Structure 1
Amino acid sequence: MPGAVPPGCSLPAYARDLVRMHDAVIGGGRPALRPREVVSRSWSRVLGLGLKADGLNARDWLGEDELARRRETSPLRTAVADLRQVLGGMSHVLLVVTDADGAILWREGPPAVRRRADDLGFFEGAEWTEERVGTNAIGTAIAEAAPVELLAGEHFEQGQHPWYCTASPVHDPRTGELLGVIDVSGPALTLHPAIGALVETGRRLAESQLWRWHQQRLDRLRQAGEPLLTAGPAVVVDDNGWVASSAGVSVGDRITAPADGEPIAVPGLGACLPERLAEGWLIRPASTDRRVALDLDLTRTPLLTLQGGTAAWRRPVTRRHADILTLLHCAGPAGLSAEALSRALYGDAEHVVTVRAEVSRLRRLLGALVDTRPYRLADGVRMTVRET
């Protein structure tokens, strides 16, 4: 967590210098103190969106029903109680947990600080992205895919200058996908050097809890499914396609996420029709034909056709997923590392987190047909690409 205050600086004096810096930069002058790179990048993005720095920009927030729905479906809901114990007991501090869209799902803190936050629109249901409220630790952490701490005048909106905020993105430990952000905010002159370490501790706690919950669920599913694996090659998976147990076939850690009545293709098993279990699915071959073929049609909107034995499906895919599949097809059995895929897609190796999240979403569609370490098409998968 990069701290907002340089070592040895007086917090009150430095906070005043940051406000002067903000006024000079926004006014078109040359400040004595230059913005940090993360702040400069964010201000450039925000100015490009046409947001105003003097006062508050238009807020948007979720309705009560939508807020309740997002809380219920958030993977972070299981970690909120422990986060309160680690981060929620400090005076003059707000603990905030958002979803991946930057919408505040939970907020804890002393009444006086909550009232001040209400005046900024910093409450449950509010969307705190850069697009909505300018440079702030939550929105900037999402935009930068990295922890962010901001103090006083580093915020784009002048209304946020009396505050500091320290935020860290939380990712799914299985896939790298962004799940939300943990943020601690408070009056600017109460910022302590330990805040960043506490927020990072909360982030690690949340991710370790998610991993433990995932393993416990797979253990229960494994125990329930083992008696069903004695009749031949089969796989037991959870609702997202994560493998709890298998027999007679090696499919890695994940297959296509099953859906009731919809055939899927699994390397080594061919076409399969998922069978519902209490907490997951039993995946068994639907025929003796174990071949799997993919056809990617790029002549118009990207369309992927899968043929596995007697089963087939056809689905549109995003342009990004089409690019990834094309790159993996060209790479052949050697595959591509996350860094190499980042360079091929974005021109540099700085987008590894984004690449991993994109491949995770692709594997939800194709499962073990796309292998990892390195990324490649699985053995036995034949693919054709039509570009003209």
Structure 2
Amino acid sequence: MSHRSDLRRRRVRLESEWSRWVPRLKAAGSNPVGVEALRRDVTESWMRSLSSVDPAQDSAPVTDGGRVQHRWSGSPLRRPVDGLADELRAIADDAGFVTAVTDESGTILWTCGGPTMRRRAERVNFAPGGRWDERAMGTNALSLALRTGRPASVFSAEHLVTVLHGWVCYCAPVHGPDGRILGVLDMSTTWDRSNPLAMATVRSLVATIESRLRTELPRQLQRNTSPVSLTCLGSEQALRDGVPLPLRPRQVEILALLALEPDGFPPDRLRGALYGDRAVTASTFKAEISHLRRALDGGVATRRYALTTPVSCDAAEVLRALERGDTETALRLYRGPLLPRSEAPGIEEWRTHLEVSVRAAVLASTSPEHALRYGERAPYDAEVHEHALSLLDPRDPRRAIAAGRRAAALREE
């Protein structure tokens, strides 16, 4: 009880100093001096931050999710963090923390934690894609650790942004073998769970990550880390540096599923997505994974199967285009159904999702070109042809094409 009372008194004192000084700093830029409750690194960060950050903002700005997934796939931190993922999740769950890993810019690439803390964190975009550098989110432990290159903690109203006053955060930067900062490991929780042991835990975890980097990075430099280009709409081909990868159809299915779900699969779920209820031995399944891993020079994480090498996938690009409302790009890339010969349940599910999503975008579009182009691939879809007719000018000669397609589709019904 005494510890909690001390924390409450500290929070009240910091809130008072925040209310006293932040409006003055914002108005006049004067530097608070002689205030024991405030740390110099915090007040200096307040002054720098106020030029770009509104203390009343309710969340961190977000980087495009597709780029974040790609950056995490290619990050040198991914493999050592994957190796510690079970330990990180256990610590976060047991202690009531949410744990995050950023890149060198302060953009969060990976998080874990219990559902309650993750919901709290997501409300302020403390989640993949959230930007937590000083210019984006003001004074916080992530931004201090990135700026100083040293471990940092920020408690309650030491945060510049008021929505974070209910938090305490512990961070340490992760240095590569060459001394460069590659990112930050952060553990955050509510102010009343503040614990000095948390910083020791963060330091220990970062030391482990840095040790693994010293072992892993030389191996990575020997591998081919060029991006893989996966075509799986209407046809199937995986290329690296213009050379086809030696993959059997089952391995192409696995690669497509991993590209479509960057967060990866637990082994049982991936096995079900490939084989459904079929009786397939564990050794057969693991052999397919092993072959794919060798073809990608080790580019598939263990335990939770996920890509650790950059893969561009036309199906994933279609979905990202649809999310942006870019029907034109989606139609240009959508050259047919996903892996049309595959009967894997997971592929069939994604195939249907893609077909439904593209068709819905076409029917919602006000461009007759979209309906006409999609109609070439959907000759028996009378509704699409009717939509094209409704958009075409009465004098447009292309009406004959749409009308003919509609008539043929109606005859088939």
Q: Under a length normalisation based on structure 2, what TM-score does the superposition of the two structures give? A: 0.48
| Conservation of the 8 A alpha-carbon contact between 1:102 and 1:139 | yes
User: For 2:77, what is the secondary structure of its paired residue?
Assistant: helix
Report how far residue 54 of structure 1 moved. Answer: 2.8
Aligned to 1:149: 153
- d(CA) in 2 for partners of 1:11, 1:34: 13
Structure 2 letter corresponding to 1:63: D
Identify which of 125, 128, 136 aligns with 2:129.
125
Q: Which has the larger radius of gyration?
A: 2
2:79 matches 1:83: no
After superposition, the Cα gap between the structure-2 partners of 1:81 and 1:239, relative to the gap in structure 1 and judged at 3 Å, is: closer
Aligned to 1:70: 71
**When you count strand as a share of all residues, which structure comes out higher?**
1
Structure 2 letter corresponding to 1:71: W
**When you count helix as a share of all residues, which structure comes out higher?**
2
Aligned to 1:177: 180
User: For 1:17, what is the secondary structure of its paired residue?
Assistant: helix
| Conservation of the 8 A alpha-carbon contact between 1:91 and 1:110 | no
Q: Matches of residues 345-360 of structure 1 in structure 2 within 5 Å?
A: none
- d(CA) in 2 for partners of 1:40, 1:32: 10
- d(CA) in 2 for partners of 1:50, 1:103: 17
- d(CA) in 1 for partners of 2:83, 2:155: 26
- Give the unaligned 5+ runs of structure 1: 1-6, 222-237, 241-277, 280-388
Report how far residue 215 of structure 1 moved. Answer: 4.8
Structure 2 letter corresponding to 1:24: R
- d(CA) in 1 for partners of 2:198, 2:149: 19
After superposition, give the CA deviation of every residue in 1:81-127 in whole Å (9 maximum; x if it has no partner): 34334433233201100111111110100111111111112111111
After superposition, give the CA deviation of every residue in 1:241-269 in whole Å (9 maximum; x if it has no partner): xxxxxxxxxxxxxxxxxxxxxxxxxxxxx
After superposition, the Cα gap between the structure-2 partners of 1:84 and 1:19, relative to the gap in structure 1 and judged at 3 Å, is: farther
Instruction: Count how many residue pairs are aligned between Structure 1 and Structure 2.
Output: 216
After superposition, the Cα gap between the structure-2 partners of 1:8 and 1:108, relative to the gap in structure 1 and judged at 3 Å, is: closer
Aligned to 1:51: 53
CA RMSD in angstroms comes to: 2.8
After superposition, the Cα gap between the structure-2 partners of 1:64 and 1:32, relative to the gap in structure 1 and judged at 3 Å, is: closer
Report how far residue 217 of structure 1 moved. Answer: 6.0
Identify which of 15, 19, 22 aligns with 2:15.
19
Aligned to 2:172: 168
| Conservation of the 8 A alpha-carbon contact between 1:102 and 1:138 | yes
- d(CA) in 2 for partners of 1:79, 1:54: 36
Q: Matches of residues 79-118 of structure 1 in structure 2 within 5 Å?
A: 79-89=80-90, 90-118=94-122
After superposition, the Cα gap between the structure-2 partners of 1:95 and 1:83, relative to the gap in structure 1 and judged at 3 Å, is: farther
Aligned to 1:135: 139
- d(CA) in 2 for partners of 1:208, 1:185: 23
Aligned to 2:308: none
Structure 1 segments, 4+ long, off by >6 Å, are none
Structure 2 letter corresponding to 1:204: A
| Conservation of the 8 A alpha-carbon contact between 2:22 and 2:46 | no
- d(CA) in 1 for partners of 2:192, 2:4: 15
Structure 1 letter corresponding to 2:161: E
Report how far residue 33 of structure 1 moved. Answer: 4.1
Once the two structures are aligned, what percentage of the paired residues are identical? 28
Structure 1 letter corresponding to 2:79: T
- d(CA) in 2 for partners of 1:215, 1:42: 36
User: For 1:67, what is the secondary structure of its paired residue?
Assistant: helix
- d(CA) in 2 for partners of 1:162, 1:202: 25
- Give the unaligned 5+ runs of structure 2: 26-31, 226-295, 298-413
| Conservation of the 8 A alpha-carbon contact between 2:76 and 2:217 | no
Structure 2 letter corresponding to 1:168: A
Structure 2 letter corresponding to 1:15: R
Structure 2 letter corresponding to 1:88: R
After superposition, the Cα gap between the structure-2 partners of 1:88 and 1:16, relative to the gap in structure 1 and judged at 3 Å, is: farther
Structure 2 letter corresponding to 1:107: T
Report how far residue 214 of structure 1 moved. Answer: 3.4
Identify which of 203, 208, 212 aligns with 2:211.
208
After superposition, give the CA deviation of every residue in 1:328-354 in whole Å (9 maximum; x if it has no partner): xxxxxxxxxxxxxxxxxxxxxxxxxxx
- d(CA) in 2 for partners of 1:159, 1:147: 23
After superposition, the Cα gap between the structure-2 partners of 1:37 and 1:109, relative to the gap in structure 1 and judged at 3 Å, is: same
Q: Matches of residues 1-388 of structure 1 in structure 2 within 5 Å?
A: 10-28=6-24, 33-47=36-50, 49-56=51-58, 59-89=60-90, 90-173=94-177, 175-216=178-219
| Conservation of the 8 A alpha-carbon contact between 1:21 and 1:33 | no
| Conservation of the 8 A alpha-carbon contact between 2:52 and 2:136 | no
Report how far residue 130 of structure 1 moved. Answer: 0.8
- d(CA) in 2 for partners of 1:167, 1:187: 15
User: For 1:127, what is the secondary structure of its paired residue?
Assistant: coil
User: For 2:53, what is the secondary structure of its paired residue?
Assistant: coil
After superposition, the Cα gap between the structure-2 partners of 1:32 and 1:177, relative to the gap in structure 1 and judged at 3 Å, is: closer
After superposition, the Cα gap between the structure-2 partners of 1:201 and 1:82, relative to the gap in structure 1 and judged at 3 Å, is: farther
